Structures are given as C-alpha cells and as structure tokens.
C-alpha cells in the first residue's frame, strides 16, 4: 500500500512544498504569460503533476493516473448539476462521460473476467475433445 512521505526532497518540508506548487505555477504561466488555451494548459499541468507525483513523491504509476481520472470525474459532477447559462448543453455532454466513468470499471471488474472464463472453458472443451456435458459436471454418456 502506498504511504505518502510528506518531505521526500532532502527531508525538508520547505523544499518539498516548492515541488508541490510547480503544477500551479505551470498552469498560471501557461494561461497568463504564454496565453495558451485552457484545455491544453490543463492537460500539460496534469502531466506535470503526474510526473512530480511519480518522480518526487514515489507514487505508483497506476495510482498516479487513477488520481488524475478521479479528479476529472469529480470535475464533471458540478457540470451535471449546473443551472447557469449553457448548463443544458453541458449536462448533455457530462452525463455520458460520468456514466462511462462509472460503467467502465464495473465492466473491467466483472464482465471481462466472466467472458474470459467462459471463453477459456469453451476452448478447453474443444481442445480436450470432451463432450459438453462432462465439462459442466454431467455424467458421461
């Protein structure tokens, strides 16, 4: 299990906090000075944050990407329940995305393993030349 070390850089909380602030600084520089579009600046900032989490804080790669996906999911929830100007259009975009984020893990945790198991059982029966009723526990005929 991953346990975060709060001062990984030279055992100094001050120096470590400089690395923690880097994604925010990158975002502000890209938006304010470079005048980059917000979607590209946020993607670059997400990349910087993931690299810092992996390289500086020694976070496992999978968990770093999962935390980015979780942030995206929680960012979509306010869009779904918004009531301001243009909210009807944004809700139509956000609802399938949130639904996909909910059903994709369920699909990969439950449906894909069951499909794999069924495919493996059917191939084992074909390769062994055994009749189907023996594979399912039936008496041989």
Query: Using one digit for the tens of pLDDT, what is the confidence trace for 35-89?
Result: 999 889 989 999 999 999 999 988 999 999 988 888 887 877 777 777 877 778 8
Q: Is the pLDDT of residue 1 over 80?
A: no
Q: Contact, 16 vs 9, CB < 8 A?
A: yes
What predicted TM-score, i.e. pTM, was given to this entire model?
A: 0.58
User: Per residue in 90-127, pLDDT tens?
Assistant: 778 777 877 887 788 888 888 888 999 999 888 876 55
CA dist list (Å): 81 to 34, 61, 97, 100, 135: 33, 32, 14, 17, 51
């Amino acid at each position: 299990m991953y346990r975060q070390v709060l001062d990984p850089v030279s055992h100094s909380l001050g120096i470590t906090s400089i690395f923690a602030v880097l994604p925010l600084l990158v975002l502000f520089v890209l938006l304010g000075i470079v005048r980059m579009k917000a979607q590209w600046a946020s993607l670059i900032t997400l990349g910087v944050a993931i690299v810092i989490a992996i390289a500086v804080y020694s976070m496992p790669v999978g968990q770093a990407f999962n935390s980015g996906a979780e942030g995206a999911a929680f960012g979509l929830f306010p869009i779904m329940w918004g009531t301001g100007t243009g909210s009807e259009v944004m809700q139509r975009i956000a609802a399938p995305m949130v639904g996909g984020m909910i059903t994709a893990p369920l699909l990969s945790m439950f449906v894909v393993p069951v499909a794999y198991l069924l495919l493996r059982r059917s191939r084992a029966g074909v390769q062994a030349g055994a009749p189907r009723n023996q594979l399912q526990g039936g008496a041989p005929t």
